[in-house]
Amino acid sequence: MGVKQVVKGNFATAVAAKLARVDVVPAYPITPSTLFPEQISQYIANGEMDAELLLTESEHSAMSAAIGASAAGARVATATASQGLKLMSEMLFIASGMRLPIVAAIGNRALSAPINIWCDHSDTMAERDSGWMQFYAENNQAALDLMLMAFKIAEDHRVLLPAMVGLDAFVLTHTMEGVDVPLQEEVDEFLPQYKPLYTLDVKNPMTFGSFGTPAHYMEFKYQQWEAMNNARKVIDEVFKEFEEKFGRKYEQVSEYRTDDADIIFITMGSVSGTARAAVDRLREKGIKVGAAKIVVFRPFPHERIREIAKKAKVLAILDRAVSFGMSGPVFADISGSLINEEKRPMLLDFIIGLGGRDITFRDFDEMTEISMKTLEAGKVEEPVHWINLRKELLEGGA
């Protein structure tokens, strides 16, 4: 059993890095993730953590240094958000292509312009093709637990891919919650030292990051594809082992009151708790709704989504990001998962909570109303709806 502490989400990810005995932390400050390097620097200054903190001059260099350190055989963690993740973006693809199991905590924050420091998922969603595994935390406990598990999954030799753990800006990063902080000896048993397959070693020189011509490039990419597919099984194994050791259950997608639901809300991150409360409230009114929370977005949990889709008549998908000219990204991926199913529910996409706009019961009422109308009509007139827009600001132009 661990120790109960009341902590911010950023602290939870930093304490996870400490418990994971991370060797190198390259970092650059950005709101809302800055508390991560601050906390790590405090641990090191107090002699509580034996790690190298590398304070770079940009996020691009932070991820570049992470790549160098990981290739040299170190366990590496960093944290960033929003524009910082965008500046890292080039290097994210290189980290995954070089199969380096770096773990990053991302304080999910909106993208400029206009500049905005509050929560949505635009930053990580824009990196969904970067070859990184993506986990989304609902609360600070999950942020800590998913960070610990991310190392074990990423470093598994069947996977060897980097992983990012998303925690919602401010809603989690800066909010105090009770968290069970595992004991060091428990974590040491769960997460042994990183054993890299290959390292930069003068006794056994190897070339890392070589030039791949058309004769070889596709096979490199196919191996990444296979690794990401392998990760599904490894994630289930690690989630199970974690549950046995620490008593907290994680699933790639977890369901709430879905068994007889006509409408199932699909959520990611901190809004999932609001969704469950909204479901209870709507159930009291006799409306058959349920909720499902996606915890693992990459690799995408196709099978679980198909199972859940079988239960519902409408999937009401909440997207805290938008692909302009398309839809929300979660909607697009769920659509892709279901396209070859013989029977599938109607899919509705709700663009919601961008740039830190609160998501409330009233929004769930609005989404329920649109979903019920769709149910009655038996067909989807318009799949994408923007929820809680301030129409008075839009009328009459800017």
Partner 1 sequence: MASDELFVSGHRGCAGCGMATAVRMILQEAGPNTIVANATGCLEVMTTGYPETAWKVPWIHAAFENAAAVASGVDVALKKLGKREGVNILAFAGDGGTFDIGFQALSGMLERGHNITYVVFDNEAYMNTGIQRCSSTPPYASTTTSPAGKVIPGKQGRKKPIANIVAAHDIAYTATATIAYPADLKKKVKKALELNAQGKGPAFIHVFSPCPTGWRYPSEMTVELSRMAVETGIFVLWEQEGPDISNRKVSCPPKEKRKPVEEYFKLQGRFRHLLKMPDKIAEIQKEVDEKCAKLGF
Question: Distance (Å, rounded) from C-alpha 190 to C-alpha 237?
Answer: 12
HSE at residue 373, side-chain half, CA atoms within 13 A, is 11
Residue choice 1, 3, 57, 286 for contact with partner 1 (CB under 8 A): 57
Give least dist CB 306 to partner 1, A. 38
Q: Is 17 in the site for partner 1 (CB under 8 A)?
A: no
Region from 8-16, 88-96, 308-316, 346-354 binding partner 1, contact rule CB under 8 A: 88-96
Question: Distance (Å, rounded) from C-alpha 357 to C-alpha 278?
Answer: 17
Q: Is 372 in the site for partner 1 (CB under 8 A)?
A: no
Question: Distance (Å, rounded) from C-alpha 172 to C-alpha 140?
Answer: 6
Closest CA relative to residue 257, chosen from 225, 294, 237, 282: 282
Q: Is 68 in the site for partner 1 (CB under 8 A)?
A: yes
Give least dist CB 231 to partner 1, A. 23
Residue choice 5, 41, 61, 254 for contact with partner 1 (CB under 8 A): 61
Region from 64-72, 287-295, 297-305, 323-331 binding partner 1, contact rule CB under 8 A: 64-72
Q: Is 69 in the site for partner 1 (CB under 8 A)?
A: yes
Closest CA relative to residue 197, chosen from 167, 217, 223, 179: 223
- Which value, to the nearest 10 degrees, does the dihedral of the CA atoms of residues 80, 85, 89, 93 take? 50
Region from 121-129, 206-214, 368-376, 379-387 binding partner 1, contact rule CB under 8 A: 206-214
Q: Tell me the site size for partner 1, rule CB under 8 A.
A: 44
Give helix 217-246 / helix 140-155 axis angle, nearest 10°. 130
Q: Using CB under 8 A, which residues numbered 100 to 129 contact partner 1?
A: none
Region from 55-63, 105-113, 309-317, 379-387 binding partner 1, contact rule CB under 8 A: 55-63
Q: Is 67 in the site for partner 1 (CB under 8 A)?
A: yes
Q: Is 24 in the site for partner 1 (CB under 8 A)?
A: yes
Q: Using CB under 8 A, which residues numbered 248 to 287 contact partner 1?
A: none
Give helix 82-97 / helix 59-71 axis angle, nearest 10°. 30
Degrees to nearest 5, angle at CA 39 with 36 and 44: 125
> Which two structure tokens, joined as six digits, stand for 143?
């942020």
Question: Distance (Å, rounded) from C-alpha 206 to C-alpha 397?
Answer: 60
Which positions touch partner 1 (CB under 8 A)? 23-24, 26, 50-52, 54-58, 60-62, 64-74, 76, 90-91, 94, 98, 200-202, 204-213, 216
